[in-house]
């Protein structure tokens, strides 16, 4: 699929998501935080759900966790704009609670559509919600983080959600480790 086809497909999905009323989150959202970034590299980062700042701006990872993610990416020499960044759930759960299974299920068609459009070679799963939504309940971010998991030609790299490092400084070191692994995987893909 050409880049223009992928962008067109993502735009069509975004319009559909903006009109979605499949779950109660649609009645409390300010914005549908669909996703953004480049598709040419075919690399995705998938988080959990929008927070307050993301809901206000309509963009993923712009709050404190997003600023930490930006710093982590800068530290490994990766341009955020070259990655396609999204969340499992496109609307903010009240009080920043984790999304419910029914909400994850309601948004699944959008996430699967994004995966189909971008056709990633590498997906960084930020946190347990993203890990379990895509790979199943048998996975745990605490035991699987930092370990690339191949599914055919697609590689998933589970890691902690950046928000966890805001509350637990030890997690920042683990995230930094995993981001170096991400950089190594990127380098291998370029060969």
- Number of other CB atoms surrounding residue 190 within 10 Å: 7
Residues lower than pLDDT 70 in the chain: 1
CA distance 150 to 97: 30
Res 51: pLDDT: 95
Q: Which residue has the tokens 């067109």?
A: 8
> What is the rounded end-to-end Cα distance, in angstroms, of the chain?
21
pLDDT at 187: 94
Domain count, the chain: 1
Long-range CB pairs of 66-73 (<8 Å, 24+ gap) are 66/162, 68/162, 68/165, 68/166, 68/172, 68/175, 69/45, 69/126, 69/162, 72/162, 72/175, 72/176, 72/179, 73/179
Each as own residue / partner, the long-range contacts of residues 100-106 (CB below 8 Å, 24 or more positions apart, any chain) are 102/23, 103/23, 103/24, 103/25, 103/49, 104/129, 104/133, 106/20, 106/22, 106/23, 106/25
Specify whether the CB–CB gap between 46 and 88 falls below 8 A. yes
The structure tokens listed for 88 are 């499992």
Q: How far apart are CA 72 and CA 162, in angstroms?
A: 9
pLDDT at 57: 96
Domain of 22, in residue numbers: 3-190
pTM of the model: 0.96
What pLDDT is attached to residue 96? 87
CB 121 within 8 A of CB 189: yes
pLDDT value of residue 121? 97
- Give the domain CATH number at 34: 3.40.470.10
């Amino acid at each position: 699929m050409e880049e223009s086809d992928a962008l067109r497909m993502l735009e069509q999905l975004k319009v559909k998501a903006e009109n979605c009323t499949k779950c109660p989150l649609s009645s409390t959202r300010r914005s549908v935080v669909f996703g953004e970034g480049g598709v040419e590299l075919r690399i995705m980062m998938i988080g959990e759900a929008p927070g307050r700042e993301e809901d206000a701006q309509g963009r993923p990872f712009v709050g404190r966790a997003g600023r930490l993610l930006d710093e982590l990416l800068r530290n490994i020499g990766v341009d955020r704009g070259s990655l396609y960044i999204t969340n499992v759930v496109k609307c903010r759960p009240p009080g920043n609670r984790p999304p419910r299974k029914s909400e994850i299920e309601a948004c699944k068609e959008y996430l699967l559509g994004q995966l189909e459009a971008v056709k990633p070679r590498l997906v960084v799963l930020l946190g347990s919600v993203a890990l379990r939504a895509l790979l199943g309940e048998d996975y745990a971010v605490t035991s699987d983080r930092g370990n690339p998991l191949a599914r055919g030609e697609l590689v998933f790299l589970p890691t902690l959600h950046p928000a966890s490092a805001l509350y637990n400084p030890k997690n920042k070191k683990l995230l930094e480790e995993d981001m170096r692994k991400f950089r190594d995987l990127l380098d291998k893909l370029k060969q």
